[in-house]
Chains A and B, each alone.
Chain A
Amino acid sequence: MKAYRLRRGAGRTALYIAVIAVSLMYLLPLFWMVRSSLMSAGEIFLIPPVWIPNPPRWSNYTKALTTIPFGRYFLNTMKIVVFNLLGTVLSSSICAFSFARLRWRGREFFFALLMSGMMLPGAVTLIPTFLGWRAVVPPNSYLPLIVPAWFGGGAFNIFLLRQFMRGIPLSLDEAALVDGASYPRIYAQIILPLSKTPLIVVSLFQFLGVWNDFLGPLIYVNRERFFTLALGLQMFIGYYTAQWELLMAAATIVLVPPVILFLLGQKFFTRGIAISGLKG
C-alpha cells in the first residue's frame, strides 16, 4: 500500500511538472511579444537577451499607434464586424428556426446540402466569389464582407443553432399556436429568448472570425484608408522589418480585443467547440 502511494505521489509530481511546462511553453510567445514591445531598440538586441524590460517603454505603443492610423483601421474593422454580426445572428437564427421547428417539403435534403457545403474548401470558391462581387460592387466596398452574413450567416452557425433549437420542447410552439400566435412571433418571442446561450456562442465565433479574417479584406480592399487592422498590421511588417519593438507593440494592439473577448466568453467558446466536434 505504501509503495502504491509513493508511486501515486511520483505520478502527481510528474503531472504537475508537465502541466507547468506546458503552460510556460504556451505563454512564452505572448510574454516575449509584450516584453519586446516595451524595450528600447538597443535593449532588444542585447545578447544574452534581457527578460524584463527596464524601464518599460510605453512610448512604443504611442509610436506604433501614430505611425500607422490604427484608429481608422479599428473603426473600419468594427464597421465590418458590427454589420456582419447583426446579419449573422438574425439570418442564421431564422434559418435554424426553420430547419429545427417548421415542417416543409425537402427540409432534410436542403439541410444535407447545407452541411455538405461546409466541406467545400473556401479556397475553391474564392475566385468565383471574387469575380461575382467585382461585377456588382466597386473596389474597396465592404459589401462582400458583410452581405453574405445576411443570407444565412454561415452553415456552421445554422447547424449549431439548429442543434440547440431542436432540444426545445415542441409543446411550447403548439401552445402558442393554439393561442393564435404566428410563426414569426413564436420565433421572436419564444425560441429566440430561449436560445441565448447558442446565440452568444455564434456571436463570439463570428466576432473572432471577422476580426481575425485576413484573406477576405486582402482581396476586396486595396486602398490604405479602407484597411482593416489585420491588413494594417501586415503592411506594418513590410515597413518596419527591423523595428521589432514597434512591430510587437502593433501585434499586441491587434491581439488584445479578441483575447479579452475570449477570456470573458471562454465558457461559451468551449461549449461551441464541443458541439462542433460532436458531429463527427
Chain B
Amino acid sequence: MRESIKDKVSIIGTGCTKFAERWDADVEDLIKEAVDEALADAGVELKDIQAGWVGTGRGSQQVPMGPPSAIIATSSLQTQYIPFTRVENLCCAGQEAVRAAAFGIASKCYDLVLAIGVEKLKDTGFGGLGEMFPGPWQPIYGAFGTPPGRYAMAATAYFSKYGLSPEEGKRILAEISVKSHYYGARNPKAHLRREITVEEAINAPMICWPLGLYDCCGVTDGASAAVLVPSSDARKYRDDYVNIKAFSIACGPGWLKEDERYDFTYWRETQEGAKAAYAEAGIKDPRKELSLVELHDCFSIAELIACESMFLCPPGGFKEYFTERRAYYHDGEMPVDVSGGLKSFGHPIGASGAREIAECVKQLQGKVEEPSRQIANFELGLAHNQGGHPGRFVPGIAIIGRP
C-alpha cells in the first residue's frame, strides 16, 4: 500500500556556504563548509551520521571536481565506510539528495542521515555554463544550445503570445531581476549583493536576445546541506524542526520542443510536478496556503513562467500579479524568491535545490539572517528546481512546513 512521505521525515539542521566565485575553495572545501554548519545547527556529530547522499549536476563533465561519485563527499568529510551515494538529476540534484535521504529515513533503514548539494562551476576558465548536455543526437542536433539560448526562446514566445512589445516584455523581466537583486542585497550568503535598477537591467549587455546580463542568474560555486531524522525522533534534537510535506519529480518525456503543439510559454513538467506536490501536501489553493515559493529562476523569464506553471497566477497573468498587485514580494500575498533566488543568490547547479530547502527552513524558524526579508506567520514553504531546458525538463518540488 502506497504511503505519502508527508510528516514522516524532519529536517533538524541546515547549512549553506557563502555562494560566490569561490576562488578559495575546492569542491571538497565547499562540502565541508556546508556540512559543518548543518551538523552544528542540528547539534549532532559526523560520527553519528548513518548514510549520506550528495547531489551534483555536472560533476562528470568538464568541470574539474574529481571523480563522479560520492567519494568527493566522503573524502572531504572523512566519513568511515558508511553508505554514501551521488545523485544527479541536472539542476534537481540537490533536491534529489534531500529526497533520497528522506526516503532513506522513511524506509526505516536509517534514523540520522545527511544530504548535500554542491557544485563547483568557476574553475572551468570561461563564463557561463557553455553548451549544454548531450542528448542522443548531440553534438550535432541541438548544437550551440546554451541555457540562455534555450530559455530566451520562451521569452520571445511569451512576448509574442501575450502581445507584449520587446520593450514591454523586457521591462517586466527587468522588474523581476530588480526584485531578486533587492533580496540578494539583503542576504549575506548571496552571490550578487548589489541592488540594481530597472533601467540598468534593461540596458545591460545582451547575453541572448531578449535576455540581457541581469536576466541571467549568477554562475556560482557553493554547497548546501541538511540533516534528516524520522519525525518521531525530531523533538529529541530541537523544538523548531521542520517536516517534509511533499516531494515530486515530474520527469518529462523530454520531447516537447519537438512537439508542434508546444509553444514554450509554460513549463508542462512543472505544472505536473506542482499538481502532484500540492496533492501530496494537501494544498488546495497554493496562493493562499503557501508562505513562500523558492522557485527556479535561472533566468528572469524562468521566474515568470514558473509562477504561472505552479498556478500562482493564471496563464498570462504574471504582470498583473507581480507588477500591479506586487504579490510576489516578501510582504505580498504570495512571496516568491525572497532569498534573491538563483538569480541573485547564485546557482551552483547541484547546490540550489538543497539551498532553497534550507532557505524555507530558516524562514519557518524565523531565523533569516537579515530580518527585513523575514516572512511573518510562515507555515508552508515550497522549493522548486528544474533541470534541463524548455521542452525537456525534470522538475523537482519539495514542500516543507510546520509539524
A and B bind: no
| B interface residues (Cβ-Cβ under 8 A, vs A) | none
